[in-house]
Amino acid sequence: MRRTWVALLCGAVLLLVPAVPAAPQGPVVAQFWYAFGGKNREVTEAYIKQFNDSQSKYRIEGAFQGDYFQALAKIRAAAATKTAPAVFHVIGEAIPQLAAAGLFEPLESYVKGPNGTRLDDFLPGQTQHTYFDYLGKPAASLVALPFFRSTPILFYNADLLAQKGVKPPTTWDEMREASAQLTVREGSDVKVYGFEVPIDWWFWLAMLHQAGGTLVTPDGKRAAFRDKGTEALQFWVDLVNRDKTMKRPPGKDYNAWEVTNTDFLNQRAAMIYTSTAFLNHMTQNAKFKLGTAFLPGKVKQAVPTGGTFFVIARDAPTPQKEAGWAFVKWMTDPAQTASLSQATGYMPIRLSAINSPEMLDFFKANPNYKTAIDQLRTAHKFPYTPALIEIQREVIQPHLEAAVLGLKTAGEVMEAAEAKANEILARY
Amino acid sequence: MAPSLALFALVYLYPVAYSAWVSFTEWDLVQPARYVGLANYRALCSSEFFEVLRNTAAYSVGVVLLSQGLGLVLAALLNDRSRVAALFQASIFSSYVVSWVAVSLLWIWLLDPQYGLIAAVLSSVGLRAVDWLGDHRLALLSLVLVTVWKSVGYPMVIYLAALQAIPGDLHEAAALGGAGGWQRFRHVTWPLLTPTTLFLSITLTIASFQGFDVVKIMTQGGPVASTMIYVYYIYEQAFQYFKLGKASAAVVVLFTLILALTALQWWLLRRRVHYAQ
C-alpha cells in the first residue's frame, strides 16, 4: 500500500515538473557539445568561460562528449529524441549526411545579419565551401563554420635523425629509406621503429591522394580508389611486414593514435604521422628536439584536413539559436582563433589572425606551428555526398588493418571496399 | 505489486517490444524509420556475423569452463574457516566487485608489450614480449583470461556455500565405508554440487554472452574483428554505423539464442542433478 502511494507521488511530481514556467529573467542558456579531451578540453572550457564573462545576454554550457565518433553517436541519439543541444561540433565527413537529414540550421542569414562574420577572412581550405567538392552540383547551403581544424603532419625526433644523418623525408621512397636507417634492432627485437602511424582512414586518404587517386569519380557516382588505394595500403604492408621498420599501433580509432604519440614521446618511434592538433602536447612533453614537416608525397603532395566544424541545431528554440550563433561567431573571431591555436596546435582559421603581428612573432619563435598552415596549399577536398561518412566508417576504416596483419592482401581489401562503396553510393 | 509491474513493463518490456519492431525497419536515428520486412535478418546471414557468433561461442565456452572449473578448485582449497582462507576468499572475490572499466584499464597496462609489467617479467627471464591484445590470434584468449580473473570469485563463493551445505555425516559415512578423498568427491560432493553447477553454468553463460565492457575498453573488437563478440557487435552496428534495424535484429536473435541455450542446459543438466533432500 505504502509503495503504491510513493509511486503515485512520484508520478504526480513528474507530471508537475514541465508545468513550472522557466524564469523569464537572466541570460539565455544554450548547451554546447564538443569532442575534445585532455588538454584541449581544458582550453575549450576556458574559452566558454571567457565568452560567458565577456557579455551578459547569453550563457553557454559546455559538455564533453567523448571522441569525435562517440560525440557523433550522442548527437544522433539526441536528435532522435529531440534533445539535441543548440550548438555542437561535427567532423566534416559527417556533414553531408546530417545536413540531408535536416539537422542543421542554415547559417547564411546569421553570417550576413547584424552580428555577422566575414566569411572572406576565413582561411581557404578551412570553410565548408572549400572543404567540400560539390561534385559538379551547386554548393549546399552553408551550415557549418570551422573551429579546431587540422591536417596530418610528419613529426620527427630531430635528435635521432641527426644521430643517423637522416634528413626528413619528402617522398615515399625517402620515407622508406629513412625508416630503415632509423630503425634500431637488438637481435630480432626492434628497440626503435623508424616510423609509426595509426592504420587509419585519415592517413590512408592522404596517401591515396599522394599516389594520384581520389575517393570517388568527379561526378561522385562511383568509387574510384581501388588502384591507388591499394598502392597506399601496400606501402604500409611493406614497411610493417617486409622492411619491419614501421610499427602498427594496436587499438582502434583514437586508441591507436594514443599509442603512436606515446611511442614517439618515449623515443620508441623516430617518425610518426599524426594531427597537428597534438603539437602543443608534443612540444610540452618531448624530451628531445621536435621537428615537423609536410607528409612525404608520391606523384604529388597531398593531405586531407580534419578537426571539427560548429553547427547549430535546427530544432533548437530561436533564442538558443541566437545564443549559439553569438558564441560561434565569438569563438571564430580572429583574436580567439589566434590564441586557441597557440594553446593547442590546431590551425588559426582566420587570415587576419595568421597575418597579425602577434601570430607572426609566434610563428618565428615556434616554426612547427606553421607547418600545417603552409601544408594547407596541398590539401584536397572531400566529396559532398551523404555516403562519405559510411564509406569512411564502414567501408574503409575497419578493413585497413586486415592487410597490414596479413589476413588479406591490400588488393583484396580495396576490391571489397570499392564494391561496398559503390553499393552505398548507388543509394544516393 | 502493480506499480513495480508497471515500472518493469515501462523500462523492460516496452524497450524489448520496441526493438523487435525496429528490427523490421531501416533506421539511422536521424531519418524516419522505414519498414523493410526481413531485410535486416537477411543481412545477418553473412560471414561477418558468423565470425561474431564463432568469437562469442569461443569466448563464452572459455569463460564458463575456466571460471567454473577454477572456481570449484579454489572453493575446495579454501573450504575452511581459518583466517588465511578468509583472506584468500576476500581477495579473490574483490576483483568481482571492482568495475569492469578499472579492471580493463589495469590489464591494458599489465599486458602492454612494451611498457607492461608482464612484458618486463617475461624479458627478465629471457622470454620475448607477447603482444597479448595486438595479435589477432591471441587477443580473444587474452580477453577470456582477463574475464576469468575478474569473475572467478563469483563461482568460488557460490561453490563455497554449496560445499558448506553438504552434511558432514555423508562424508563421515563414506569415509567409514573406506572411500578415499577422490572417491568421496566423486560420489558424494560432486553429485550434491550439480544444482549449483547447473545454476552457475546458466548464469555464467548468460553473463558471458552479454560481455561488452572488456571489449569496449581493451580492444574495441580488434585487431580486425578477432574480438568482436556479440553485444559489442550490436553496439557497433547501432552506435558506430547507425544501423539500428540491423542491430535490433541481432538483439532479437541473441534473445532467442540465450533462451534456447538456457533451455538446453536446463534439460541436459536436470537429468543429472541430485538434490540433497
Confidence of residue A1 (pLDDT cuts 50, 70, 90): very low
Residues in chain A: 428
pLDDT of residue A8: 52
What is the CATH classification number for the domain harbouring B219? 1.10.3720.10
Tell me whether the CATH fold assigned to A27-150+306-378 matches the one assigned to A152-304+385-427.
Answer: yes
Beta carbons within 10 angstroms of residue B23's beta carbon: 23
ipTM of the complex: 0.84
pLDDT at A199 over 60: yes
Per residue of chain B (277 residues), give pLDDT as tens.
Answer: 678 888 888 888 899 899 999 999 999 998 889 999 999 999 999 999 999 999 999 999 999 999 999 999 999 999 888 899 999 999 999 999 999 999 999 999 999 888 899 989 998 888 888 889 989 999 999 999 999 999 999 999 999 999 998 888 888 888 888 888 888 888 888 888 988 998 899 899 989 999 999 999 999 998 999 999 999 999 999 999 999 999 999 999 999 998 998 888 888 777 766 665 5
**Chain segment A8-54, per-residue pLDDT in tens:** 555 554 554 444 445 557 899 999 999 988 888 999 999 999 999 99
- What would the CATH number be for the domain defined by A152-304+385-427? 3.40.190.10
pLDDT at A248 over 60: yes
- Asked if A77 is an interface residue toward chain B (Cβ–Cβ < 8 A), one would say yes
Q: What is d(CA A296, CA A420) in angstroms, rounded to the nearest whole number?
A: 29
- Asked if A9 is an interface residue toward chain B (Cβ–Cβ < 8 A), one would say no
Interface test with A, best of B112, B220, B233, B235 (most A CBs within 10 A): B220
> What's the rounded mean pLDDT across residues A362-368?
94
List chain A residues with CB under 8 Å of B114.
Answer: 263, 268
Q: What is d(CA A166, CA A178) in angstroms, rounded to the nearest whole number?
A: 6
- Asked if B10 is an interface residue toward chain A (Cβ–Cβ < 8 A), one would say no
In Å, how far is B277's CA from the nearest CA of chain A? 37
Residues contacting residue A93 through CB under 8 Å, at least 6 positions apart: A382, A388, A389, A392
Interface test with A, best of B5, B30, B51 (most A CBs within 10 A): B30
Residue type, B72: L
- Asked if A4 is an interface residue toward chain B (Cβ–Cβ < 8 A), one would say yes
- Asked if B134 is an interface residue toward chain A (Cβ–Cβ < 8 A), one would say yes
- Asked if B47 is an interface residue toward chain A (Cβ–Cβ < 8 A), one would say no
- Asked if B193 is an interface residue toward chain A (Cβ–Cβ < 8 A), one would say no
- Asked if A84 is an interface residue toward chain B (Cβ–Cβ < 8 A), one would say no
pLDDT of residue B176: 87
Task: Show the domain range for B198.
Answer: 30-79+154-270
**Chain segment A123-150, per-residue pLDDT in tens:** 988 899 999 999 999 999 999 999 989 9
Q: Which class would CATH give A27-150+306-378? A: alpha beta
Confidence of residue A327 (pLDDT cuts 50, 70, 90): very high
- Asked if A248 is an interface residue toward chain B (Cβ–Cβ < 8 A), one would say yes
- Asked if B8 is an interface residue toward chain A (Cβ–Cβ < 8 A), one would say no
> What's the rounded mean pLDDT across residues A225-232?
98
How many Cα atoms are found within 13 Å in the side-chain-facing hemisphere of B200? 29
Confidence of residue A333 (pLDDT cuts 50, 70, 90): very high
Domain boundaries, chain A: 27-150+306-378, 152-304+385-427
pLDDT of residue B106: 95
C-alpha closest to that of B184 among B172, B198, B202, B194: B172
Is the model's pTM score more than 0.95?
no
**Chain segment A151-171, per-residue pLDDT in tens:** 999 999 999 999 999 999 999
Cβ–Cβ of A398/B4 closer than 8 Å?
Answer: no
Interface test with B, best of A1, A9, A196, A405 (most B CBs within 10 A): A405
Looking at the structure of chain B, the number of domains it has is: 1
List chain B residues with CB under 8 Å of A251.
Answer: 133-134, 219-220, 222
Q: Which of A3, A73, A98 is nearest residue B239 as measured by Cβ atoms?
A: A73
C-alpha closest to that of B232 among B108, B95, B53: B53
pLDDT of residue B182: 87
pLDDT of residue B130: 87
> What's the rounded mean pLDDT across residues A313-319?
94
pLDDT of residue A34: 94
Tell me what the pLDDT averaged over chain A comes to: 92
**Chain segment B7-64, per-residue pLDDT in tens:** 888 888 899 899 999 999 999 998 889 999 999 999 999 999 999 999 999 999 999 9
Is the torsion defined by CA of A129, A418, A307, A197 positive or negative? negative
The position carrying cell 540433497 is B276
Cβ–Cβ of B30/A76 closer than 8 Å?
Answer: yes
Cβ–Cβ of B224/A407 closer than 8 Å?
Answer: yes
Cβ–Cβ of B220/A398 closer than 8 Å?
Answer: no
DSSP B204-252: HHHHHHT--HHHHHHTTT-STTTT--HHHHHHHHHHTS--HHHHHHHHH
Find, in chain A, the residue whose alpha carbon is nearest to that of B220: A252
Domain membership flag for residue B1 = no
Cβ–Cβ of B220/A250 closer than 8 Å?
Answer: no
> What's the rounded mean pLDDT across residues A194-211?
98
Mind spelling out the 3-state secondary structure of chain A?
CHHHHHHHHHHHHHHHHHHCCCCCCCCEEEEEEECCCHHHHHHHHHHHHHHHHHCCCEEEEEEECCCHHHHHHHHHHHHHCCCCCCEEEEEHHHHHHHHHCCCECCCHHHHHCCCCCCHHHECCCCCHHHHEECCCCCCCCCCEEEEEEECEEEEEEHHHHHHHCCCCCCEHHHHHHHHHHHCEEECCEEEEEEEECCCCHHHHHHHHHHCCCCCECCCCCCECCHHHHHHHHHHHHHHHHHCCCEECCCCCCHHHHHHHHHHHHCCCEEEEEEEHHHHHHHHHHCCCCEEEECCCECCCCCECCEEEEEEEECCCCHHHHHHHHHHHHHHCCHHHHHHHHHHHCCECCEHHHHCCHHHHHHHHHCHHHHHHHHHHHHECCEECCCHHHHHHHHHHHHHHHHHHCCCCCHHHHHHHHHHHHHHHHHHC
Q: Are strands A189-196 and A152-157 parallel, antiparallel or unpaired?
A: unpaired
pLDDT of residue A7: 54
In Å, how far is B227's CA from the nearest CA of chain A? 11
pLDDT at A399 over 70: yes
Confidence of residue A6 (pLDDT cuts 50, 70, 90): low
- Asked if A252 is an interface residue toward chain B (Cβ–Cβ < 8 A), one would say yes
